[in-house]
Amino acid sequence: MMLQVEKLSFSYGEVQVLHGIDMEVPEERIVCVMGRNGVGKTTLMKNIIGLLNPSAGSIRMHGREITKMPTHNRIQAGLAFVPQGRMIFPKLTVEENLKIGLSARSDGLDRIPGEIYELFPVLKDMTDRMGGDLSGGQQQQLAIGRALVTGPKLLILDEPTEGIQPNIIQQIGRVLRQLVEEKHMTVLIVEQYLDFVREYCQGFYIMNRGRIVAGGRTEDLGQDIVRQYLTV
């Protein structure tokens, strides 16, 4: 199992936001986490990557306990994170943004791996452009490219399709599929678009008020669940 989350709880101060989350992500799958706004999806991802520390429970990667491991060690162990809202550096060039990812590598590689530009050819054409001058979709591709620079085994993305035009959404979906099929990576993705989930994800979890309330294979994600937990 690539990732196992067990009985994970988290509070912002006095306010408990995650309540005993259990979740498993098998290797070489794309698994999504869905749920309405404010149910705790981002908080869960930040606990998994180590930007927030749970009050209880455990996180294991390949069976290895990482619950208390600092984020940079998790990245060296093969985790990578594309945050919600992309968070690229607007005043740095595309190439400089990608190079930020290099600093997290343990092998001292100082050139951006060519495969990043193969996956996202648009970045190759724009290496000297400022990140802030890119379109939303291009910025998202840059954010994913930056995460891939560390050579991760498990890529976590928080709403990568939010506010992005449909043709780029499809492109992102195809890249994720390619990463799984050709590079044997695993993907955990927070995603709101049902069409994207049905097309690209094999497994799903649904959160509501800090709890996992449903989960399974994407083909079993029925209308009743969608109506109860996803539509507003």
CA angle, 119 then 50 then 173, to 5°: 25
Task: Pick one of ligand ATP, Mg ion, none as the site partner of residue 37 (Cβ within 5 to 8 A by kind).
Answer: ligand ATP
Among 43, 97, 138, 141, binds ligand ATP (CB under 6 A): 43
Distance (Å, rounded) from C-alpha 169 to C-alpha 141?
10
- What is 158-191 written as a DSSP string? ESTTTT--HHHHHHHHHHHHHHHHHH--EEEEE-
Our finding on whether 42 is near Mg ion (CB under 5 A) is yes
Complex with ligand ATP: residue 113 or 160, whichever CB lies closer = 160
CB 139, min distance to ligand ATP, A: 17
| Residues 180 and 187: beta-carbon distance below 8 Å | yes
Q: Nearer Cβ to Mg ion, position 42 or 47? A: 42
Fill in the per-residue mask, 79 to 118: x = in contact with ligand ATP (CB under 6 A), - = not in contact: -----x----------------------------------
Q: Residue 21's closest CA among 39, 38, 36?
A: 39
Contact letters for ligand ATP, residues 23-42 (x by CB under 6 A): ------------x-xxxxxx
Residue 43 is a binding residue for Mg ion (CB under 5 A): no
Is the distance from CB of 218 to CB of 30 less than 8 angstroms? no
Q: How far is the CB of 28 from ligand ATP (least distance, A)?
A: 26
Spatial contact of 197 and 32, defined as CB atoms under 8 Å apart = yes
Residues 65-84 contacting ligand ATP, CB under 6 A: 84
The CA distance from 129 to 209, in Å, is: 41
- Reading the block at residue 111, the tokens are 């050139």
β-sheet bridge partners, residue 80: 155
Query: Of these partners, Mg ion, ligand ATP, none, which one is at the site of residue 164 (CB under 5 to 8 Å by kind)?
Result: none
Examine residue 140 and tell whether it contacts Mg ion (CB under 5 A): no
Site residues, ligand ATP (CB under 6 A): 12, 17, 35, 37-43, 84
